[in-house]
Amino acid sequence: MSLKSNWPQIKRTLEQSQASAVHCSIATVCPDGTPHITPVGTVFLRDNQTGFFFDHYAVSLGENIDSNPSVCVSAVNVGRWFWLKSLLTGRFASEPGVRLYGKAGPARPATTEELQMIHKRVASTQWLKGARMLWSDFEVVRDIEFTDFKPVAYPMMMDGMWPAD
């Protein structure tokens, strides 16, 4: 399956999944070769098979990327209504999730546009003390260039959902 031709569907799937779970996961490889998975709520996809995330709290994530830039971003729709409806009907209404493979770049200062995107995402919760504590002072991002993807697949309930190339 082609990353480029399926990108709009991939992007929609990640965004829906991230909205339902409030995060997605980024897997990296530690210097000793062990896997490491980090929940990240600040992943954004662009229209050109790239994305970025705010590198704010996850120290091990950044250290692992600096050592080995290979990453896998995994996003699964965990919405209760999504799953209940799917189980009742025996078919998913939309893709349940996606894995994206690529290389993450070095940390760099966030652009004004990227800062606006994160502020928009967290704006509805900024009146909460914990939200202000967690989602303030974002300054640094890492770009990701994606090279491949795999749908999260439950074949019995999603035949034909991802077009074959």
* pLDDT tens digits for range 123-137: 777 788 876 777 678
Confidence of residue 102 (pLDDT cuts 50, 70, 90): very high
Domain range annotation of the chain:
3-110+140-152
pLDDT of residue 164: 60
- Closest to 138 measured CA to CA, from 58, 78, 77: 58
- Closest to 24 measured CA to CA, from 74, 66, 60, 64: 74
- Closest to 141 measured CA to CA, from 40, 47, 70: 40
pLDDT of residue 128: 81
Tokens describing residue 154: 């439950």
Q: Which residue has the higher pLDDT, 107 or 132?
A: 107
pLDDT over 60 (residue 47): yes
CATH 1.10.760.10 correct for 3-110+140-152: no
DSSP 160: T
**pTM (2 decimals)?**
0.91
What are the phi and psi torsion angles at 148 (to 5°)? Answer: -160, 165
- The residue count of the chain comes to 165
Q: How far apart are the first and last CA of the chain?
A: 5
- Closest to 11 measured CA to CA, from 50, 42, 39: 50
pLDDT over 60 (residue 165): no
Q: What is the dihedral of CA 39, 81, 10, 98, to 10 degrees?
A: 50
Tokens describing residue 46: 């662009």
Tell me if 135 sits within 8 A of 124, measured CB to CB: no
pLDDT digits (tens, 9 = 90+) for 10-45: 999 999 999 999 899 999 999 999 999 999 988 999
